[in-house]
Amino acid sequence: MRKLITVAFAVALLAGCSAPAPVTAPPALLRSADLRLPLDDYLLAPAELRELSAARGLLIRRCMTAAGVDYPARADAAPKGPRTWNERRYGLTDPDLAAVAGYGLGDREPVADKPPPALDAAAKAALDGPRGCAARAGEEQRRGDPGLDRDLPRRLAAQSFAGSRRAPEVVDVFRKWSECMRVNGFGYDDPLAPPADRRFAGPGEPAAGEIATAGADLECKRRTNLVGVWFTAEAAIQNGLVGGNRAQLQRIRQANDAELALSRRLIAP
């Protein structure tokens, strides 16, 4: 997972998304972690997903205990991965982190989870059966929204990302960024290409070459205002998508809020 975070969006391309011209001039931007796109109001943030996961684990443990099965709690771990969905949406955008971690995330680098403790056949049935504790925990968390398409915001966000990459102003700023990188001795055509470079995929501290590439990448983004142009183009697309799906998105936001409220009551000290 180490360097592929920024290209996860690129592989989710969906056809049929036009890219209207932005309605506002792009602001000068570089850091993207705290930017908010219109669809972010309908997506659960990484920190919120961790809250839901903690509550789900608690519900499962209660159910397993009631079934007479010892199901130990998993140890809390420090948050891993991007802090927000937009931190790496437009590639590397954090000069401070890049100076020490290159294209990595430092102490937030994702690592493989340790496997859960082995369960015997009876415990597995209690956990994973058709009416097992995992299914019941999911039902408990998502009460009151049968048939709601909770995946719609994510699909629309993938659609807007794909469409924004085809917007003329984004294609143009990609070209300018690429020219800037070539002047600095780095041959990349796409700002999502350096994080996916296999030379930078190894474990451990980044080599000097990765740090140098990351530094040039960020300087070229700053000179061309790549993040500002790309973010503005995608925000315009998302405004249209939100307008065309407003009723369903509002229902999803209400369901998200209800699920979070329940989960926070469960895990409150």
The pLDDT confidence band at residue 18, using thresholds 50, 70 and 90, is: very low
Give the pLDDT score at 13.
36
- Give me the number of domains the chain comprises: 1
- 128 domain residue, yes or no: yes
Give the pLDDT score at 37.
98
Give the pLDDT score at 201.
81
Give the pLDDT score at 144.
65
The answer to whether 198 and 249 are in contact (CB under 8 A) is no
Structure-model confidence comparison of residues 22 and 42, the more confident one: 42
Give the pLDDT score at 1.
44
pTM for the full model? 0.85
- 23 domain residue, yes or no: no
Give the pLDDT score at 76.
72
Range of 106's domain?
A: 5-9+38-267
Q: What is the largest CA-CA distance in the chain?
A: 67
- 260 domain residue, yes or no: yes
Give the pLDDT score at 113.
67
The answer to whether 192 and 6 are in contact (CB under 8 A) is yes
Q: Kindly report, residue by residue over 126-167, the tens digit of the pLDDT.
A: 999 888 999 999 888 887 677 799 999 999 999 999 999 999
The answer to whether 83 and 46 are in contact (CB under 8 A) is yes
- State yes or no: pLDDT of 3 exceeds 60: no
Q: What's the whole-number mean pLDDT along residues 237-266?
A: 95
The answer to whether 263 and 54 are in contact (CB under 8 A) is yes
